[in-house]
Structure 1
Amino acid sequence: MADRLPARMREFASYLDGLLARLDQGAGWCGVFWQRDPDGMQACLDGREAPPWDVVEALLEDLGGMYGRATATAERERARALHAAALGAHDARPGAREDLADRLDVMLRERRYAAERHAGLARLLSAPAPGTDTDSLRTDLAWARDDHRRATARCDELRARIDELDRSAALSSPGRDAAPAPARTPARVVPPAPAPADTPAAPRRRRRGSARFAGLDADQGAAPAAAPGAPAPMTPDAAVRRTPRGARFAGAAQPAEAAAGALASADEEAGTEVAGAVGRLARLRAEGRSGEAHVLLVELAAWPAGRLPLLADALHRSGLGADWATLLWESAALPAERLVDAADALAAAGRDTDAHRMLLQGVARPAEQIGAAVLRLDGEGRHREARALLDACVRARPPQEAARCAAAGPRHLVPLLLEAALGVSEERHWDLVHALRVAGHTL
């Protein structure tokens, strides 16, 4: 069977086998991966799958721990090139796009599960009941955070691969977009196939192995007793991100000069408080008090929206970029109205990517809550904010879930949902038309 595998996949499998031979199979991240998903690890060693890049980086962290950072750094370039070639060979096979969409669907669910678990553990840790084993809670919280970061990295990687396949398909059929689209009437609506790449269609059968490969465990709450000492970087270097634009940023983007002016005019008190909070966080991290550090991040998420850009800058200057990602995630749990205000503040400061991620993470809450928040925003005359929230929802949620937003007020929300979907694509609009009809809403 190995002879029938693409040469690039065989080459990477051989490299991975050699890398693992240099590591302690029962320790570090390597030990975690073998414990959590031995089938996925074996599939990668056999050349049948290529692991997500965050897994390769974690193994390189193990290598650095055993042979020194310089060895891992020197190895990374070769590993990256071989991994990219293996992914390209995998994605060139028939049916690859459908397979990737299936994996993305699963990974989005994994990420939502990790976010919910993290939020619940953080609440328990912020006010533990008498007799609570806080050390165990902190360990579980660390694993939930790691699961979420890995899921986010894998979603980015899968989207990038799907986008690349779509670009290649468009280049190979240059005349495809020249012909006018056929007229479509509501009476003949059918769900398109395949689904768009930001959100997959109806859930398919869950794949065992690489979709939940090595580190994510959505079916079981338990995690290994202790995390490896040096967590690996979570974001793949090759993740493709489009330039943020449109209603999902609430129309708040400003020229760079205006953003710089807004930051420069921040009052002295805010700057002092931000510096103090970041200094306190740095001390907690240096002392290994990760639970208290996380509680502080939860508190910072509740600060006025205008201070978020200041916090982002201060955290990155202090080498606490990973804590900014956690703070961004915690901010996504804010009430929907404040969520949009926070995204506005980030976009106004030129942090469009952060604003985009916050909105997409924020609309993972129950669809009915999003619909109710949109009604409140619209009722208060905050029409731009209401549409930004709906735009993020129809981009991030499958059509069947986005349609559930309408339950809070179908007469008002159905037209707004359809308008938001049309702003994404014609396909998404017709998908939502179908989902709304299935849900019993009159268009």
Structure 2
Amino acid sequence: MSTVAPNDPAAARGISRRTQSDIFRAGISGARPAVPVDARRLDAAAEAVLSTEAYAYIAGGAGSEQTVIANRSAFDRWQLWPRPLHEVSSRDLSVDFLGCTRPTPLLLAPLGVMELVHPEADLAVARAAASVGVPYTVSNQASFPLERIAQSAPGAPRLFQLYWSASDELNASLLSRAEAAGYEAIVVTLDTHLLGWRTRDLDLAYLPFTRGMGIAQYTSDPVFQELVKQRASAASDTSDTSDTSGEGKAVRVTPKTIAAGISIARRGTSLTGSRSLRDNLRSPLPRVAVETFLDVFSTPTLTWDDLAKAREWTSLPIILKGIVHPDDAERTADAGVDGIWISNHGGRQIDRSVPTLDVLPEISERVGGRMPVVFDSGIRSGADAAIALALGADVVALGRPYAYGLGIAGEQGVREVIRNVLAELDITLGLAGLTSVGELDRDALRAV
């Protein structure tokens, strides 16, 4: 498959024609897409190949998952209103975002612990995103250090997501590393100062971080490494360093306990300096790293006043992610940051939360033009993207679908998922009688 150059506005033109032609031509010899094109079948195919724990972690939402349902149902309240007999042979998906012209209005949202679904995790995602010129928002909970992810796709557009830690020194270090590694902007996620009540994970008693997964940004960080060493040296005995429950209770030894210990040890190289599993099993540092992470990962004391510190830690543009109230959107604009990201974390944090699409129009009316508006939570297709763009989003972010593509077919799966969303957006634009993303507005929609 041909690739496109990052930030080339001409690169995405004709994508729907190329995509459909490629699929149908390959079908002559019996070849089919690596991943299902339909979003529902994509989800089902991922569930069939992923472990129970992996699928639950990615697909699950908070509580009874009513927010996940509401995010999707909100799209059912809008219909695209086609206007034929317009000349639409040439269509332009390009948008301006963070001072650059991007070939499409699509971003990849930050998803953590992608090693749950594929061993190449974020490296495969970064390469796939780069091949189609889509900016990738690298998660703070990625499975590889942010520098290695950047090296996997040199020159590609990418953002770094920060979960605001309880350690300001650690926050500053992470942002400094992102800036040095060539990331374009910082996305500060605001809605995870407490872990959501995720019933699927609770039923399985499974949190990947307790197995040492998804903490590569931390274990590769010099500030975090020092926190781990300090904690290890303060431990009074080895039983203190083997507890990952956070409650000071002894962990019962079972085959699963042993497997968890091995999982933690395998990810301890950056702490111990040894690639030997035996050495890492003997060292307390990998286990202490998990305890330290659980302690510092987030802070419920975070307030608006704290956000000013981020300006001291980096000169990169700052986007605030997790805004769903119009008054908070106003405050975001007044705070002097560089962008707003409307999101309810894909329904993973609060059950029965406001669906993001319902608040998008008012937030866009209040802050649109003053800063870019990013939208996520519920995007599954190109038609979904068109509706969100028409309601005021400047760019839209894709989440779960690309994780499913990664789990089914690795890098190629991610690339095909992105390709399919963009191709449908392109053809939707043309069939609606429009020739550019900028023409998508409320006149292109009908409320149901």
TM-score, normalisation: structure 2: 0.29
Larger relative strand fraction:
2
TM-score, normalisation: structure 1: 0.29
Query: Which structure ranks higher in relative contact order (CA pairs < 8 Å, sequence separation ≥ 6)?
Result: 2
Larger relative helix fraction:
1
